[in-house]
Structure 1
């Protein structure tokens, strides 16, 4: 028994330092601790880190153009003792930089917090119900995106359409149902919206909507949000065991999916009339998307392509940070250069996003060009990206180099 405990503890410590993913010839399933001979009782541990150096050409005169940060550092664990029950725990930090560090590791900066913790009960082999702090989101594939196997340097920001507004870092506390009928997959959720979101503004008389329905109107009228995503796998079927969507398979599968999703939060926003009467406004977000990933030839080349259109209604003339009532189009495409699967592989890519806002006449346009150098699939890779953003007469360009390891 002591030897088993020592082995478990050693593997756990090692997993915190290293990491894993699609496309690696060396991964072979990662850290999985089996508690019976057939492996049906197990604990699986994943860990990853993303480390960045960024050059920004649009900073104040007294600020350096170059900065370093830990973009993500995470540990995820899930276990099954029987096929009927699953428990998942996910914790870590985001965007740790010199401005969010604390002398003794405290404060409100990017410190450790719980990302996910949910339990799941299987109803049948294909359908399940779960509850907790979860990531079974609606709207689109990118609102369910894994950060382990992205094609681009990072996710399209506006696709995480409720982050910090109705949830905690793209996770809600609630109950979800998920499953599949053949190649058709579904996930729906009923969630308790966050009370104190990022939008802490007070509605101005005759002004735009504010995302603060639960905080201002109360939980009876504005407490719950509803989400769902539905997809059909035309070619190879993807797994829906976990909610984290793969960004690129590097040609490891032949996938063509079409999907549609929604997010609805009744009275999620609040407007004040000219006389100061507060009225709730329903939030509704809808999207359609398509994802294609396939090998081109037997020489290691592959293509990944994704596109989505999203309609955002956060309330009349709502605009906060990068989010606002209006429409969004986003697409990216990547190509894996032919080469030996057991050696380093290169994948250049392009991305483009266009966001319109009802509150202003200008559109936000974001263009990205970059490349991934896979040293061992997604387990160890380098990404270099240039991103240019133009909005309301302002333009910003950033160059980021990221090193990633995951197990």
Structure 2
């Protein structure tokens, strides 16, 4: 493992410095203009993330090294005028040797919609939309773009109801978004899924809450998912044309935002009393966060920093993988090393997460140490990360991942 780390780090630092840091011709994807001034258009964006991962904490008959397609995505949106928009986003996630299909027809091999929504501009600063959408609540991280992470990937518990009430962090519902001066907002009212990741667990007397409220209590009693996120922009204002929050701007903007958000789902989980009678419990999640991204001088160096506190209440003693009733604190910071903008750039970073888990009366922690090599900004980059995680009194688990990303 030590040799792998040294060899991969050497590769990242050795890559020739002849690549451009940014593409001056890139204006947000391939654009098809339907009129001369480009106000009627179709825009297309495609990206892929490819992983090589080493994990020595596996059974003896399992390979310690594996290759996968972390994400394969295609997104398009179009406007015939500024009054309305339609967006389509489809692709697949985490395709590997264990779930790929011999003839490409099994579930993991299939493309599916990540987003599909229509939006209408009802006022200069207000838009309303409906469909399968990503206008989420809770925090910036729950609205993250997968194109421009600072870290290798998102902080997993920040997508706090992924697979519990939504499909891969997307709900079917209606949303409103806009801004009041420097305050941006997004709120939504959504359906909850029935076939949750918790579907194989049944309520047991005096056991933990189970995220099956809509299935076991019925859609009328379980209620809808309501969420929102509000952030105030002290310096440069970010775009909210699309919902995807940028991970790092590489010093191209000066951003300082403070935000707060929530998600509530009435009777989203179910508990059983001593006699086995079912009762619903409300799911309530709340977070406050801060984001800073700015150049540090004229030499091209920059800093990116983020911190969030999140309170998770999924019901009594709920605990399922990255989800659990309790509190979470997460933060990361990255430093873009100085250098010419037309050369490859290096950005080391560190991330840390700690979660209290009521069900085990203990904490879970994760430390990430990584480095990005930007060959053409986020359009062509390599990321090497070592992550060490621990849950309660369990053993530490160390994983090394090398990612190659291309997006056009």
Structure 1 residues 24, 372: closer, same or farther in 2, change over 3 A? Answer: farther
The reply to whether residue 35 of structure 1 matches residue 34 of structure 2 is yes
Asked whether the 8 Å contact 2:28–2:45 carries over to 1, the reply is: no
Secondary structure of the corresponding residue to residue 306 of structure 1: strand
- Offset at 1:57? 1.6
Secondary structure of the corresponding residue to residue 187 of structure 2: strand
Secondary structure of the corresponding residue to residue 108 of structure 2: coil
What corresponds to 2:16 in structure 1?
none
Asked whether the 8 Å contact 1:24–1:378 carries over to 2, the reply is: no
Q: How does 1:1-400 map to 2 (within 5 A)?
A: 24-200=23-199, 201-392=201-392, 393-400=394-401
Distance in 1 separating the partners of 2:371 and 2:110 = 29
Distance in 1 separating the partners of 2:340 and 2:28 = 21
Distance in 2 separating the partners of 1:223 and 1:97 = 37
Asked whether the 8 Å contact 2:346–2:374 carries over to 1, the reply is: yes
- Offset at 1:382? 0.3
- Offset at 1:25? 4.1
Structure 1 residues 24, 258: closer, same or farther in 2, change over 3 A? Answer: farther
- Offset at 1:252? 0.4
**Which moves more between the two structures, 144-153 or 108-117?**
108-117
Which stretches in structure 2 are left out of the alignment for 5+ residues? 1-20
- Offset at 1:110? 4.6
Alpha-carbon deviations, 1:223-266, whole Å to 9, x = none?
Answer: 31100000000000000000000000000000000000000000
Secondary structure of the corresponding residue to residue 281 of structure 1: strand
Aligned length: 386
Distance in 1 separating the partners of 2:362 and 2:402 = 30
- Offset at 1:268? 0.2
What corresponds to 1:406 in structure 2?
407
Secondary structure of the corresponding residue to residue 102 of structure 1: coil
Distance in 1 separating the partners of 2:25 and 2:404 = 18
What corresponds to 1:12 in structure 2?
none
What corresponds to 2:11 in structure 1?
none
Alpha-carbon deviations, 1:144-175, whole Å to 9, x = none?
Answer: 00000000000000000000000000000000
The alignment's TM-score, normalised by the length of structure 2, stands at: 0.93
- Offset at 1:280? 0.3
Which stretches in structure 1 are left out of the alignment for 5+ residues? 1-21
Alpha-carbon deviations, 1:282-340, whole Å to 9, x = none?
Answer: 00000000000000011110000000000000001111112110000000000000001
- Offset at 1:395? 1.2
Distance in 1 separating the partners of 2:109 and 2:395 = 28
Distance in 1 separating the partners of 2:28 and 2:113 = 25
Alpha-carbon deviations, 1:105-155, whole Å to 9, x = none?
Answer: 011225211100000000112101000000000000000000000000000
What corresponds to 1:16 in structure 2?
none
- Offset at 1:23? 5.3
Distance in 2 separating the partners of 1:361 and 1:316 = 12
Distance in 1 separating the partners of 2:22 and 2:241 = 19
- Offset at 1:390? 1.1
Asked whether the 8 Å contact 2:22–2:342 carries over to 1, the reply is: no
Alpha-carbon deviations, 1:57-90, whole Å to 9, x = none?
Answer: 2100111100000000000000000110100000
Distance in 2 separating the partners of 1:193 and 1:144 = 18
Asked whether the 8 Å contact 2:324–2:357 carries over to 1, the reply is: yes
Asked whether the 8 Å contact 1:287–1:311 carries over to 2, the reply is: yes
- Offset at 1:366? 0.1
Distance in 2 separating the partners of 1:240 and 1:313 = 29
Distance in 1 separating the partners of 2:26 and 2:152 = 22
The alignment's TM-score, normalised by the length of structure 1, stands at: 0.94
Asked whether the 8 Å contact 1:190–1:225 carries over to 2, the reply is: yes
CA RMSD of aligned residues (A): 1.0
Alpha-carbon deviations, 1:329-356, whole Å to 9, x = none?
Answer: 0000000000010110000000000011
Distance in 1 separating the partners of 2:109 and 2:310 = 29
- Offset at 1:27? 2.3
Alpha-carbon deviations, 1:18-54, whole Å to 9, x = none?
Answer: xxxx954452443111111111100000000000100
